[in-house]
Amino acid sequence: MASQVPTSEQLKALPPGYMAEDIGYRLTNTAIAFLVLVHVIYISHIVSRAACAERNHWEIWTLYPLSYLSVVGLSITGVHRGVGRHMSYLLSKEPAKIVPSFQLQTAMELLYMTGVTFPKVCILLLYLRIFADRKVRIATWAVMAIVVSNFVFTGMITTFVVCQPFAFKWDKTIPGGHCADIMALYTYIGVPNIVTDVAIAILPLSTLWKLQMNKKRKFGLFVTFMAGSLGLIAALVRFAEFYEIPLMTDLTYYGVETMIYTIVEPSAYFICSCLPGTRPLVRHIYRSYSSATIFSWKSDKRSSASRSDNSQSFALGNPVGNHTVFVSTPKANGSSGVESSRAGFIRLEETVDVQSTPGRNEQGEMV
């Protein structure tokens, strides 16, 4: 066990309502919210890549599913029995929940490392495919090496050797067992994540700044790549929480706050890694239900009204793009003779009403 069962005198000395406190609902609500969000984003990502993308790379069917399973596993294992209760309550009322709670927390440590590593690798692989600058590519490879090394040495090896034997992490009754400073491990394991987060946010800036495109599209790309800063914010908050909270004094109670950010941070990385992959789906939806359809309907309605109002309208062909142009001109008076023979022609001295709906050319630019 983590500590001894409190005596009756110790229990009487506790503040009123102390034993009844339960803040586990905070963790439950966070886990449910991110489960829903992660599923929506990942389903959109899969549909976009499978139905709308011209080409998919190997990480779409390997790293992304592993990342998805990691963040979903974090949300599920985070909501376990006993979390949110004071350790004194569990020791005196429900001691059977303590060991399973510590075992699930150990599983969360492993899932956390996979959850923050695989999405970062996906983002860095995207950088390598779209950025041609040699210096940026070298820096990207270096950051990827740091990310993978942190996963192997800090995430895997350290987690398994910090306590000897390994089961001593949740069962303190094992004779001769001992642990290193677990609190330091929990706190400083986030430092490499923060450093690599900053690097990932900075890497694309120079290339994006040099792109020759309109400001609207450039701003959209900046927003897409800077979305990764959401993971950086979560990493900073998590680091501060582990540094300030006296976690080891009441692990099952104070652990709620730290486990919340342990769920939020990898989920933010995963969502950010999926967002660039949803662009084909967004572009397809935008083109299918863009304002061109609305404007075309309005133009048809206006042209129909003009025909009943002594005017006639002609739809002109469009050599480029998907927009529609209508030309309206007054009807000719009379049904025979010279005026009738000129029906369908536009005289230069007459006023011509030209209506055009916006569209896009083959390069996707507004015309």
**Average confidence score pLDDT of the chain:** 76
Model confidence at 119, pLDDT cuts 50, 70, 90, reads very high
Token pair in block for residue 181: 């400073």
Token pair in block for residue 1: 């066990």
Of 1, 203, 188, 29, the residue nearest 102 (C-alpha) = 1
Rounded distance, CA 269 to CA 119, Å?
6
Model confidence at 349, pLDDT cuts 50, 70, 90, reads very low
17 or 327: whose pLDDT is higher?
17
Q: What pLDDT is stored for residue 261 in this prediction?
A: 87
Q: What pLDDT is stored for residue 148 in this prediction?
A: 93
Q: What pLDDT is stored for residue 103 in this prediction?
A: 86
Q: What pLDDT is stored for residue 65 in this prediction?
A: 94
Of these ranges, 12-16, 174-178, 337-341, the one predicted with the greatest mean pLDDT is 174-178
With tokens 């450039």, the residue in question is 218
Q: What pLDDT is stored for residue 341 in this prediction?
A: 44
Per DSSP, helices labelled H in the chain are: 8-12, 24-47, 63-78, 87-93, 98-130, 134-149, 158-161, 182-188, 190-202, 205-210, 215-226, 229-244, 251-274, 279-288, 291-307, 337-341
CATH class of 8-286: mainly alpha
Model confidence at 14, pLDDT cuts 50, 70, 90, reads confident
Q: What sign for the dihedral angle of Cα 33, 36, 39, 41?
A: negative
121 or 296: whose pLDDT is higher?
121
* pTM of model > 0.85: no
Please check the confidence at residue 319 and state whether its pLDDT lies above 80: no
Report how far apart, in Å, the C-alpha atoms of 80 and of each of 24, 69, 99 are. Answer: 9, 18, 11
Residues composing the chain: 367
At residue 178, φ and ψ (nearest 5 deg) are -155, 155
The maximal CA–CA distance of the chain, rounded, in angstroms, is 115
Domain ranges in the chain? 8-286, 290-356
The CA-to-CA distance between both ends of the chain, in Å, stands at 70
Model confidence at 306, pLDDT cuts 50, 70, 90, reads very low
Of 123, 121, 97, 265, the residue nearest 186 (C-alpha) = 265
